[in-house]
């Protein structure tokens, strides 16, 4: 389950001098403190994937809901992925099949809880600079996993400097596949009900239970 960012157009790098004025420890701490104030979030998202070997490119879009702790609902035209923190449902409307499994977290997870809480200990972080998007100042960071066995090779994360909310994520994995997440219309702390993170398969759905 991967962390999602937000859409910004017409990026313009301000320069190396700005990067030198930013302290990476201070930036990561501000990101973590901001996340601590968020109990739930809703957003529309888009995802662009460029596969490393085939060079095939794909685009997806959908909606995301999250609620602490470890509850997510991600819906797109191709898949619905839901977890209540204990069970995960992965539903394919095309195949009319849902795969049910136990929810698993580990130190390399890219869920918001694990990613942000373990950011300093799991990644080498450096600041690339500031960028402007529609009058908004963003801080761009490069993250490299400290674990050389990690599936993630590197990440770029764009954070809005005024709010310290992650707005965009670009991820490159060991297969040289590049995935860019962007998000629209973020709404925070709207008291999403826990029932949003349960899944009932539609009639006629094949259920594959791996628990």
The model's pLDDT over 59-91, given as tens digits with 9 standing for 90+, comes to: 989 898 999 988 999 998 889 999 999 999 999
- What is the model's pLDDT at position 8? 28
For the stretch 124-167, pLDDT in tens is 999 999 888 778 889 999 999 999 888 889 999 888 888 888 88
> Average pLDDT for residues 82-103, to the nearest whole number?
94
Please tell me the predicted confidence (pLDDT) of residue 100: 96
Tell me the CATH architecture of domain 12-209. Answer: Clam (2.50)
The rounded distance, in Å, linking the Cα atoms of 32 and 115 is 10
- pLDDT value of position 110: 55
Out of 14-23, 60-69, 113-122, 155-164, which region has the weakest mean confidence (pLDDT)?
A: 14-23
Q: What percent of the chain has pLDDT over 70?
A: 84
Task: Rank 12-16, 131-135, 167-171 by mean pLDDT and report only the highest.
Answer: 167-171
Q: Are 160 and 136 in contact (CB under 8 A)?
A: yes
Identify the residue with better confidence: 11 or 162: 162
pLDDT of residue 67: 93
pLDDT at residue 39, rounded to an integer: 92
Per DSSP, what are the bridge partners of residue 88?
A: 83, 101
Q: Grade residue 113 by pLDDT with cuts at 50, 70 and 90.
A: low
Does 13 score more than 60 pLDDT?
A: no
CA distances from 106 to 21, 117, 122, 179 (A): 34, 12, 11, 21
Please state the rounded mean pLDDT for residues 51-62: 90
| Separation CA 126–CA 27 (nearest Å) | 10
Cis status of the peptide bond prior to 186, with omega within 30 of 0: no
- Please list the alpha-helical segments (H only) found in the chain: 16-21, 24-36, 112-117, 119-122
pLDDT of residue 20: 46
Is 0.85 topped by the overall pTM?
Answer: no
Q: Which range (9-13, 35-39, 117-121, 146-150) has the least confidence?
A: 9-13
Q: With bands split at pLDDT 50, 70 and 90, how would you rate the model's confidence at 95?
A: very high
């Amino acid at each position: 389950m991967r962390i999602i960012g937000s859409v910004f157009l017409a990026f313009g790098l301000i320069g190396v001098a700005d990067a030198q004025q930013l302290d990476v420890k201070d930036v990561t701490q501000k990101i973590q403190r901001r996340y601590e104030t968020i109990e739930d979030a809703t957003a529309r998202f888009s995802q662009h994937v460029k596969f490393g070997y085939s060079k095939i490119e794909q685009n997806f879009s959908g909606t995301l809901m999250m609620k602490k702790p470890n509850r997510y609902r991600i819906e797109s035209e191709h898949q619905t992925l839901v977890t209540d923190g204990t069970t995960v449902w992965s539903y394919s409307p095309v195949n009319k099949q849902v795969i049910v499994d136990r929810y698993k977290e580990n130190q390399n997870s890219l869920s918001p809880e694990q990613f942000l809480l373990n950011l300093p200990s799991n990644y080498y972080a450096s600041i690339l600079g500031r960028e402007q998007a529609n009058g908004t100042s963003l801080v761009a960071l490069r993250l490299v996993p400290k674990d050389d066995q990690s599936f993630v090779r590197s990440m770029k994360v764009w954070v809005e400097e005024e709010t310290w909310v992650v707005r965009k994520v670009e991820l490159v994995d060991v297969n040289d596949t590049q995935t860019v997440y962007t998000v629209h219309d973020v709404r925070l702390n709207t008291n999403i009900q826990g029932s949003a993170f349960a899944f009932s398969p539609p009639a006629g759905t094949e259920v594959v239970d791996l628990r």
